[in-house]
Structure 1
């Protein structure tokens, strides 16, 4: 085995390492460690421990037996943590699921106040809004020298110094960022930071190296998981859409057009163009919510049944007794990015259709339909799409999700046979950054590996 390229995916649930051996033309089995929630005692908080995340990363890297040529960090974006003058974290990581911006201070929540002050509505969980909320809640640590995302933090710890830049794919989720000019809106920065003198992260170049580890391994600036996943899983950018189903859901469409529907986000894509992205707050989480309901009913009836057995039962009932379209489930159980306070619903319900199997199929169809609606709104960009590349444990493990994709999108569906698409994409980005791969070569590697 020659030198390898490592992608590190700092996910909400797991921290995963992907190792790419280009010389042998293969991916080593991905290795993951859990990334649990950190209890802060705040009902609105969804936090994690940045020190534990760093230790998990170092534990994973220690398992690589071959010499490492490059490392690229990807994973969850939107959230923030605070660090001191030495670059060490002095707060939890407040993740994209955190809702502190919806807490009222002096009769108004931070999201609404920022909108009134600047005219800019930032979705709950976005980094600049989280900092704005912390300032109002008195939650900014006294020894904080600055704040950044977990991807910037892990990258800085690997290269041994704070970094003052990041890939635009990571900057956008902080909010108020123009993906075309790669700059933040000054009026929002001034209101959020409270001073013109305070600086924030700048944009790096595509595939730029941030520094080197103590062992002289090149570490690129981090890349957002959406862009890394598209880079690692889609070989035909114009004619394929990426559908990702994890805790949340996303549909990503590549375009060189800077105009996209207001319901979707325009995200920079490694200097090659843009992704038009429709993102939901629940996908797998909605299905998990239905699982928890079914499990509680069965256990209340005295059944000793495992979570896995409940999932198996749901698949069986959906396949054998569910009738597609007979029960509609709106799966916006935790709102949407544009409407955080909206909630889901089930109906119309009649005397015949409220069944176990129909609830399962209705929930799956609701998850898929929320993504499909984004596609319809994107017009000609979506019309050019001939195939769907689907990723996530839901589509790999559950035939019902694949059938729903085929039924709703009416296009061929390719289920990516890669354990962690974002991690794979990050490994490829590192390889490009040090000149081990060209962009045309990347597309060839992707086309061969996502089906292998």
Structure 2
């Protein structure tokens, strides 16, 4: 019995077929997400929704040899972004992604759209959140004329796979677009309407493991879940006692909590089993390391020394050599892209001395800076959860391919480090979700016990 998981990322899309009985990976197919649309506006980040559907369908075609035995399909997707659909269930707008900056544009009052909506509703909202985008388009009078609902890209893909015309949204994605109340898990329609928006655009909420429909060949399709929740589900051996550190383009720390908890520096996100993820999300991570690599490339190019090789391998090797040196460490604040709370915050480099002002220590300083920001989020966790932590799970290529960063993480959190057995954590988590939603397992605990247990080499 096979289960499929699809992860729709900002830059890539992955499909994984797994054996539901033991979690063995049967097939992995992935492709670059080339759906990004060009724009004359520096703040605009959009993608063509139907192109993403085409890419998913091409991955399914690539897996045809194993597709007949697939029973159910789970989907995870990039969070926060939205698109609009018509009454026929077709996209009538691009996907406005989580990276979109229109929410930071200023109104005549001098406040940004995100700031004004936050003040009007009492919710902590940021640019890139779907309902900030909806507010901007409402204020501008630019809502698509034939639009009847908004939805996530994951739910749009689910609709197209099973020919559904009306989107629904899982609470894990609903919370990411804004104006969502916890712990009762509902949109605050009253505040939305008071801010001048039409609540009829909101999709119907579904909870836990809701089925969107069946494909033409009889496979059950679940409504999409957030990629953060899917990655956690696909990366940890058990929910409790695990700190997940993910470093990709951005970076995050995530911890499971069975009870609701609030912190001014953490996001409390609904998990699919009725519990919660406490998440510290940074806008930097691999993106900051990429900025440093580009800096080195620019320096070499300026002096006529550049070839076409990537510098990452050399940077990682230099970092491994430098962390054993007894040299005062450069203190690097890697918030080069701001933070959720302070979008205009800048990065910094401090503690420069003659014996540490060199490429090796600059690289180490960047790595420390990325982890320091995540460690700051960890310190905001409730004491009872901190005391229960027994392992550090790491995911994302930003740390998976960097031995120096792994060593720093072990030292910083003083926890044994484990890697997810499946590198495509979000797609694998979507598959586990589908195994529960289709009734193969009674709950996530049982599914994890069976599907995370294999130590086969193909992982």
Q: Note whether the superposition's TM-score is higher than 0.5.
A: yes
Which residue of 1 is the match for residue 86 of structure 2? 84
Q: How far is the alpha carbon of 1:449 from its aligned partner?
A: 4.2
Residue 128 of structure 1: aligned partner: 131
342, 357, 378: which is aligned to 1:354?
Answer: 357
Instruction: Give the structure-1-normalised TM-score.
Output: 0.94
User: What residue number does 1:143 align with?
Assistant: 146
Q: Rate the CA distance shift 1:426–1:243 in 2: closer, same or farther, 3 A.
A: same
Q: Tell me if structure 1 keeps the 8 A contact 2:212–2:223.
A: yes
2:181 matched to 1:178? Answer: yes
Match of 1:401 in 2: 405
Work out the CA distance in 2 between the residues paired with 1:70 and 1:102.
Answer: 40
- Once the two structures are TM-superposed, the CA of residue 291 in structure 1 deviates from its matched residue by 0.7
Matches of 2:119 and 2:270, distance apart in 1: 27
- Counterpart-to-counterpart distance in 2, 1:245 and 1:193: 38
In 1, are the aligned partners of 2:89 and 2:166 still within 8 Å (CA)?
Answer: no
User: Which ranges in structure 1 are unaligned for 5 or more consecutive residues?
Assistant: none
CA apart distance, 1:352: 2.7
Contact 2:4–2:17, Cα closer than 8 Å, also in 1: yes
- Asked whether 1:432 is paired with 2:430, we answer no
- Report the equivalent of 1:119: 122
- In structure 2, how many angstroms separate the alpha carbons of the residues matched to 1:260 and 1:18? 35
Residues 407 and 450 of structure 1, relative CA distance in 2, 3 Å threshold: farther
What's the CA shift for 1:144?
Answer: 2.1
Q: Say if 2:47 is the partner of 1:41.
A: no
Contact 2:162–2:216 (CA under 8 A) maintained in structure 1: yes
Kept after mapping to 2: 8 A contact 1:283/1:367: yes
Partner of 2:26: 28
TM-aligned CA deviation for residue 179 of structure 1? 3.1
Cα distance in 2 for partners of 1:358, 1:56 equals: 42
Q: Distance in 2 between matches of 1:424 and 1:89?
A: 27
Whether the 8 Å contact between 1:416 and 1:450 is mirrored in structure 2 is no
Contact 1:163–1:210 (CA under 8 A) maintained in structure 2: no
**How much has 1:252 moved relative to structure 2?**
0.8
Give yes or no for contact 1:295–1:307 (8 Å, CA) kept in 2: no
For the 8 Å contact 1:120–1:188, the answer to whether it is kept is no
Distance 1:307 1:407, change over 3 A: farther
Q: 2:450 aligns with which of 425, 445, 452?
A: 445
Q: Which ranges of structure 2 fall in alignment gaps of 5 or more residues?
A: none
Does structure 2 conserve the Cα–Cα contact (< 8 Å) formed by 1:81 and 1:91?
yes
The residue aligned with 1:321 is 322
Cα deviation digits, residues 196-245 of structure 1 (max 9, x gap): 6x251232131121111111110011111111111122122221111111
- Whole-angstrom CA distance in 2 between matches of 1:124 and 1:230: 24
Q: Shift in Å at residue 82 of structure 1?
A: 1.7
Q: Quick one: distance in 1 between partners of 2:440 and 2:239? A: 21
Worse overlay, 129-138 or 206-215: 129-138
Aligned to 1:339: 342
Question: CA, structure 1 residues 437+375, in 2 after alignment: closer, same or farther (shift >3 Å)?
Answer: same
| C-alpha distance in structure 1 between counterparts of 2:22 and 2:246, whole Å | 28
Contact 2:3-2:431 at 8 Å conserved across structures: yes
Further displaced range: 114-123 or 268-277 = 114-123
How is 1:33-432 mapped onto 2 (pairs within 5 angstroms)? 33-36=31-34, 37-64=36-63, 65-66=65-66, 67=68, 68-106=70-108, 107-191=110-194, 194-195=197-198, 198-308=200-310, 310-321=311-322, 323=325, 326-380=329-383, 381-432=385-436
Once residues 104 and 139 of structure 1 are traced to their aligned partners in structure 2, the CA distance between those partners, rounded to angstroms, is 17
CA contact (8 A) 1:164 1:200 kept: no
Query: 1:377/1:162 Cα in 2 relative to 1: closer, same or farther (>3 Å)?
Result: same
> How far apart are 1:97 and its partner, in Å?
0.7
Partner-residue secondary structure (3-state), 1:101: helix
Q: Distance in 2 between matches of 1:115 and 1:438?
A: 40
- Are the aligned partners of 2:241 and 2:389 in contact in 1 as well (CA < 8 Å)? yes
Q: Report the Cα distance in structure 2 between the residues aligned to 1:206 and 1:32, rounded to whole angstroms.
A: 27
TM-score calculated relative to the size of structure 2? 0.93
Contact 2:252–2:280 (CA<8 Å) still a contact in 1? yes
CA distance in 2, matches of 1:10, 1:450: 26
Measured after TM superposition, the shift of residue 12 of structure 1 is: 0.9
Contact 1:152–1:163 under 8 Å retained in 2: no
Q: Equivalents in 2 of 1:332, 1:450: separation in Å? A: 38
3-state SS in 2 of match to 1:257: coil
Alpha-carbon contact 2:150-2:203 (below 8 Å) kept? no
Provide the secondary structure at the position in 2 that maps to 1:30: strand
SS of equivalent to 2:62: coil
